[in-house]
Amino acid sequence: MTHIFCPWKKPSSATFYEFLKPALDAMKEMPKLQAKGNRPLQMSFEDQLRALVFFHLEEHTSAQHLLQTLKEDSFAKEHIAPEGGIEKSSFSEAINSRGLDQFMHVFQHLQTEASNLLPKAHAELGNLVGIDGSLINGTLSMLWADYRKGSKKAKVHVGFDLNRSIPRKIHLTDGNGAERPFVSKILSEGQTGVLDRGYQSHELFDQWQHNHQLFICRIKATTKKKILTQNPASSDSIVFFDAIVLLGTAGVNQSQTPLRVVGYEADKVKYWIATNRYELSAEQTAQGYKLRWKIENFFAWWKRHLKVYHLIARSPYGLMVQILSGLITYLLLAIYCHTHFHETVSIKRVRQLRTQIKNELCRWPVRHDDEPYDKEHNLQNINAKT
């Protein structure tokens, strides 16, 4: 663990700086944030990044909650808020109109760093990417997010690296935005999309195979299957069906390209999986689909513990900024937890991180004067083992 000794500086935290450092490093090659018109920026991009990461890390429940903390908390006032503070109108303007390209740059940089750092589980199954959408409850003023009468929702479409348990790609639509078209946008060459049955489309199955895109997708049990060839099932396996088929009804919605269907049973539920991963065993295909639950767990954890869906923006632009900052915070946690504990992200380690930051602030002797101070990345690091 890195410790910083500078007893007469204003309150600071070596742990918070170490946690944030991968994101600060990612800023070195990003496009510069420009002011619009002649008015100077009230928040630099670094100020914006710090504020939003702090918002998620400390479980703030609203923009007003965050702004009050930036005014009244000594650490947040000195090391998170812009110099001179930030008013609600300036904060709202910054979130809703600036920084999206920069946040996307930092997210992509951290995603690459985390992919190179974190161990790859289930390597024998290849690069598995869970794809799913998640609804965000909007406000009545979010007219772009019409869902149904009297209801506004936005939807995030996420590609999730199932081998490393980290997000890969993100898209935002209104709540009624179709999910299936994002499969081709999210998948890269050599990756396998792992999908729930809401993505079942025989036409898309044909298209994905034509485009050499790989998939493992649950299908409805009632889907008609024209068996072309079938492999015998072992009595001691969870797999009860393994065949090359055409899906659907001839002349109506039948797939044109044969694919593989694997049927397996778990917890007294039968699952039917369509795939073009012919080299996997039937049991490996079943295992690949089971890993899809990781993206469900991610959404649930992300919402609950980082307060990502507590809106501080209303526009599509601002909401995308907020969602990206939540993904960045999660990637920072993934890097931090692996570096220090060789573990995946957990609320136990997040609480420990929050407590350690507060404890470091309590230990700092502070001279109460107006002496200028430097932000953490200008302080001298001294390495020590813990």
Query: Tens of pLDDT along 202-231?
Result: 999 999 999 999 999 999 999 999 999 999
Contact call for residues 244 and 260 (beta carbons, < 8 A): yes
Report d(CA 71, CA 68) in Å as an integer: 5
DSSP 8-state symbol, 30: S
Q: Give the residue ranges of the chain where pLDDT is below 70.
A: 1-12, 35-40, 363-386
Contact call for residues 274 and 201 (beta carbons, < 8 A): no
Within 8 A by CB and 6+ apart from 182, the residues are 131, 133, 157, 171
- Per-residue confidence (pLDDT) for residue 5, from 0 to 100: 41
Contact call for residues 263 and 270 (beta carbons, < 8 A): yes
Query: Domain spans of the chain?
Result: 2-104+339-383, 197-275
Say what the pTM is: 0.88
- Per-residue confidence (pLDDT) for residue 89, from 0 to 100: 86
In DSSP terms, which residues pair with 167 in a beta bridge? 160
Residues 79-134 have pLDDT tens digits of 888 888 888 888 888 888 889 999 999 999 999 999 999 999 999 999 999 999 99
**Biggest alpha carbon–alpha carbon distance for the chain:** 82
- Per-residue confidence (pLDDT) for residue 38, from 0 to 100: 56
Residues 127-151 have pLDDT tens digits of 999 999 999 998 888 888 988 888 8
- Per-residue confidence (pLDDT) for residue 363, from 0 to 100: 63
In DSSP terms, which residues pair with 3 in a beta bridge? 382
How many residues does this entry show for the chain? 386
DSSP characters for 270-329? EEEEEES-TTS-HHHHHHHHHTTHHHHHHHHHHHHHH-TTS-S--SHHHHHHHHHHHHHH
- Per-residue confidence (pLDDT) for residue 39, from 0 to 100: 61
- Per-residue confidence (pLDDT) for residue 115, from 0 to 100: 96
Contact call for residues 164 and 119 (beta carbons, < 8 A): yes
The neighbour count for residue 180, using CB atoms within 10 Å, is 15
